[in-house]
């Protein structure tokens, strides 16, 4: 169930503008382009480590079919299905 919820959340993020950040301006939700370099969909874990280095934190996989894994880097998180990137999400400011 958690894997389905996470996958639904990720798919919702994927439907937003590519390479964008969600921000709030004067109480309104806005989408702004992001200049943060991050992995692309389909890259392997090995390719991500080679280009971006070791993550700050790795979370254990959630679910079994498919397992969803998250790695945190400064400013963004990378989500994997099995060993391939399904999304990279920029962290919002608080």
Are the CB atoms for 79 and 89 separated by under 8 Å?
Answer: yes
Closest CA to 57 of 41, 38, 43, 76: 76
Of 6, 21, 5, the C-alpha closest to 79 is: 6
Please state, in angstroms and rounded to a whole number, the distance separating the CA atoms of residues 28 and 14: 21
pLDDT of residue 24: 65
pLDDT in tens, the chain (94 residues): 565 655 555 555 544 334 455 556 677 766 666 778 889 999 999 999 999 999 999 999 999 899 999 999 999 999 999 999 999 998 876 5
| Model-wide pTM > 0.75 | no
Cα–Cα distance measured from residue 51 to residue 45, given in angstroms and rounded to the nearest whole number: 10
Sign of the C-alpha dihedral computed for residues 57, 7, 40 and 66 taken in this order: positive
Q: Cα(25)–Cα(30) distance, rounded to whole angstroms? A: 7
Domain boundaries, the chain: 2-90
């Amino acid at each position: 169930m958690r894997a389905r919820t996470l996958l639904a959340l990720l798919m919702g993020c994927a439907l937003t503008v590519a390479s964008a950040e969600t921000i709030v301006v004067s109480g309104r939700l806005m989408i702004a382009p992001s200049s943060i370099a991050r992995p692309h969909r389909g890259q392997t874990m090995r390719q991500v480590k080679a280009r971006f280095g070791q993550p700050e934190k790795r979370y254990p996989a959630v679910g079994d079919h498919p397992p969803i894994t998250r790695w945190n880097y400064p400013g963004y998180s990378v989500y994997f299905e099995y060993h391939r990137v399904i999304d990279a999400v920029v962290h919002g400011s608080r």
